[in-house]
Amino acid sequence: MSNKALRILIADPQQTHRVVLERLFNQQGYHRIVPVSHLRELLTLVEYGSEPFDLIVVNAQLAGGALDLHDFVIDNPQVRHGMIYNAQPASQSPMPAAHRSNLHSSQAPLPDLASLRRLMEWVDPPCHEPLQPWGASPQAGSWQLI
């Protein structure tokens, strides 16, 4: 079951991409989505937001070289998780695992439903049924109110 309170920001210069991604998230039960089309909008919402975004999904071309999106996602306390798609293959030295734990990068021009499902399993892991006290499940009629 999805956490309907998660805040998701989609940043892509193409409206069709934003609409497609929003619908794919909606199919999975996520509806607190903010779509933006410009880098300035992304920066304003992230920096001046009252609470952090649980996930930002950004087209790598949005920054146009004006901002290192990898560092922005990793180092920003207002971003819990990030996905950068349409990314060029990494030519720099690999980051330590601890620094990329909240960032996914994809060379795909647009994430599909399967990749977003995998992403959301990482961002919003399924919760397990709570254990009953003392490891036993109550049977009908075995509990009494005193």
Quick one: which of 86, 77, 82, 87 has its CA closest to 123?
Answer: 82
- Is residue 146 one of the residues assigned to a domain? no
Write down the pTM of the prediction.
0.81
- Is residue 77 one of the residues assigned to a domain? yes
- Is residue 95 one of the residues assigned to a domain? yes
Quick one: which of 21, 109, 24 has its CA closest to 59?
Answer: 109
- Is residue 133 one of the residues assigned to a domain? no
C-alpha distances in Å from residue 48, one per residue of 25, 38, 42, 44, 53: 24, 16, 10, 6, 11
- Is residue 25 one of the residues assigned to a domain? yes
pLDDT band at 126 (very low <50, low <70, confident <90, very high): confident
Q: Write the pLDDT tens digit of every residue in 65-116.
A: 999 999 999 999 999 999 999 998 864 445 544 445 799 999 999 999 999 9
- Is residue 143 one of the residues assigned to a domain? no
Q: Write the pLDDT tens digit of every residue in 42-73.
A: 999 999 989 999 999 999 999 999 999 999 99
Domain count, the chain: 1
Domain boundaries, position 110: 8-128
pLDDT band at 141 (very low <50, low <70, confident <90, very high): low
Q: Write the pLDDT tens digit of every residue in 13-24.
A: 999 999 999 999
DSSP H helical segments within the chain, as ranges? Answer: 15-27, 39-48, 69-75, 113-123
CA distance 75 to 70: 9
CA distance 105 to 125: 19
CA distance 48 to 61: 23
- Is residue 62 one of the residues assigned to a domain? yes
CATH of residue 18:
3.40.50.2300
Quick one: which of 23, 90, 67 has its CA closest to 10?
Answer: 23
- Is residue 76 one of the residues assigned to a domain? yes
3-state DSSP helix/strand/coil % of the chain, to nearest 5: 35, 15, 50
